[in-house]
Amino acid sequence: MSKIVFFDIDGTLLDHDKTLPDATKEAIKTLQSNGTYVAIATGRAPFMYEGLREELGIESFVSFNGQYVVFENEVIYTNPLKVEILETLLEDTYSNDHPVVHLNHQTMKSNHKHHPFIEESMGSLKFPHPDYSPQFYKDRDIYQSLLFCTKEEENFYRNKYGDDFTFIRWHQYSMDILPKGGSKAEGIKKMIAKLGFNLEDVYAFGDGLNDIEMIQSVGTGVAMGNAVEEVQRHANMITKHVDENGIYHGLKELKLI
């Protein structure tokens, strides 16, 4: 295989109803049959898109915005959060009444039994409020935590913990907490080093703020028509909206299908 294409999930592979358009599914199948390697690069945890991987026949992925990389069902790179610093941050979240959800590669747990910010944010991904387990982050690797606060409240955390963590907002009520410098781009570097691809043969499709580094770092970065403006500014190409079969049209324009 001479080329590889990485796809974000939400707003890229999946439309705004969180469904996989038929044209996208057929385009991916054609891409694979043409001999192009296909992988996923997402902020989601692996357990959150098992069905999608199975439906598309994809066995390689960059999860947690680059912190957990799998090539053909083999884990090739992990980068968990530093628990001792996370613990200090959690003290502040409790003081500010900002809930947190912790994720490893198998599941996610909340440190609040119920909170409307969690309900609305996770509901937008079609996931229920995670189970309550405030000590879940201890004695296991946590690859990403979700901090639930408004945009106006986030600067407190950015200013205090910006040297230790990277924060990426993905919902009006929620931000990802990643190891400092963690990104999909870093995860992709691990993957292509393993496979031996040349950078000019690496493509990526995305739409969100967590896709900027990825789109900048690959040979050809493609922004969806529904991508936020900042993402589109960094892209080599802008395809159609996800609801207008943007994946299919983008791959056609690139002559990959």
**Domains defined for the chain, CATH in brackets:** 4-78+182-253 (3.40.50.1000), 83-179 (3.30.1240.10)
Report pLDDT digits (tens) over 124-157: 999 999 999 999 999 899 999 999 999 999 999 9
What is the token pair recorded at 31?
Answer: 């891409």
Give Cα 216 to chain centroid, integer Å: 15
Rg, C-alpha atoms of the chain? 18
H-only helix segments in 101-209: 116-124, 155-161, 184-195
Strand order in the sheet with 174-179: 131-132, 108-110, 100-103, 144-147, 174-179, 165-171
Q: Which residues 6+ apart lie within 8 Å of 56 measured at CB?
A: 13, 20, 25, 28, 29, 38
Dihedral sign (CA 130, 134, 137, 140): negative
The reported pLDDT for the residue numbered 2 is 86
Report pLDDT digits (tens) over 164-183: 999 999 999 999 999 999 99
**103: left (phi > 0), else alpha (psi -120 to 50), else beta?**
beta
Burial of 76 (0-12, 13-18, 19+ CB in 10 A): middle
Q: Which residues 6+ apart lie within 8 Å of 154 measured at CB?
A: 147, 167, 169, 175
Report pLDDT digits (tens) over 70-113: 999 999 999 999 999 999 999 999 999 999 999 999 999 999 99
What is the token pair recorded at 252?
Answer: 């056609």
Catalytic positions: 8
State the Cα–Cα distance between residues 121 and 185, nearest whole angstrom: 25
Q: What is the mean pLDDT of residues 1-19?
A: 94
Q: Of 55, 48, 49, nearest to 25 (Cα)?
A: 55
The reported pLDDT for the residue numbered 1 is 60
Q: Which residues 6+ apart lie within 8 Å of 235 measured at CB?
A: 215, 221, 222, 223, 227
Res. 239 pLDDT band, cuts 50 70 90: very high
